Amino acid sequence: MANEEQDQHKKEEPIIIKKVKGHGGHGHHGGSWKVAYADFVTAMMAFFIVMWILGQSEEVKQQVVAYFEDPGAFSFVTGKRTIPIDLELKPSGKGDGESDKKGNKENVPWFVFDQESKDTIINEAAKQLKENAMQDSADAAKRVEEIGDKLKKMFKKEMLEKPELKEILSSIKIQITKEGLRIELIESKQALFFEVGSANLSNPAKEILRSLGLEIGKLPNTIDIEGHTDSRQYGSGSAYSNWDLSTDRANSARRYLSNNGLWDGQITKVVGFADRNLQNPNNPFDISNRRISILIRQLKVDDFLQNQAEQ
């Protein structure tokens, strides 16, 4: 009887089902601080920009306002506001308020140009685009010249402050040519810029290339890098030649400049000339024929016209 009572008691007990909530939906908890931190950083950045603007001249403030009102009005190279194209449009034909033969005003164009007017507009636009490009090209050339002057002053100052670099700094030649600004690192003694017979840069040469890269990288101009040797040849049994050496040295300079200031794509050509373009043709064995030449190419009118066409 006792067992029957116990079985009966168990049957009468209610069945309780406990549902345990999973923790799968809580995986992202704890990350909200990242959003708050990002907002804080953005706010601080905006604050510093505002403080910087407040500390500038009235002219700079006006330029900032003008940029945000019309960003497309500023040159991609000089950063200056471009000259707007002002065309005198002279419509012919029906004007506002007239209707066509069916009386539909909405079908009447605002401007109807004859062929002569179209040709005038196109010619005037082309003329002003070219004038703008010529002005931009002149501004860009002036900026390159200013960089050249800046580099000369910088190296002259370093010669006074760092006597140990006087010899190598005095071996740098900077001049404006028809092609652009040419900077030449000319050997004046063995192992000045490179180790003898190799493309390994000396430590002073690296320091100079780093300074050059930081300044050249500020320009929109592309650059070419050339390597040159004197006429001394390797032994007849050597598979390595002056062609290899001049090319390897130019490429070594390219690699170092690319990692120290230049923007991607700024270098458009790296070439080795061996002894085919001597600095001192009267003495092919002169050590000054061994050099690296960095050419900052001038931006031409066609470059700006092409850029305007692509925009």
Which of 60-69, 153-162, 227-236 has the lowest average pLDDT?
60-69
Is the pTM higher than 0.75? The answer reads no
For residue 165, being part of any structural domain is answered with yes
Output DSSP code: residue 233: -
Please write the tens of the pLDDT for every residue from 71-120. 666 555 556 655 555 545 455 444 444 455 555 545 444 445 567 766 77
* Residue 235 belongs to a domain: yes
Q: Is residue 92 part of a domain?
A: no
The CA angle 68-73-79, to the nearest 5 degrees, is: 85
The domain in which residue 237 lies consists of 145-305
Kindly state whether residue 276 falls inside one of the protein's structural domains.
yes
Q: Does 252 or 196 have the greater pLDDT score?
A: 252
| CATH number for the domain harbouring residue 229 | 3.30.1330.60
Instruction: Look at 171 and 8; give whichever has higher pLDDT.
Output: 171
8 A C-beta contact, residue 283 and residue 232:
no
Question: Has residue 85 been placed in a domain?
Answer: no
Contacts of 95 (CB under 8 A, 6+ apart): 110
Report yes or no on 90 lying in a domain. no
Whole-number Å distance between alpha carbons of 48 and 21: 48
Structurally, how many domains does the chain consist of? 1
Q: Are 294 and 212 in contact (CB under 8 A)?
A: yes
User: Is residue 256 situated within a structural domain?
Assistant: yes
| 43, part of any domain | no
Query: If you average pLDDT over residues 60-75, what whole number do you get?
Result: 70
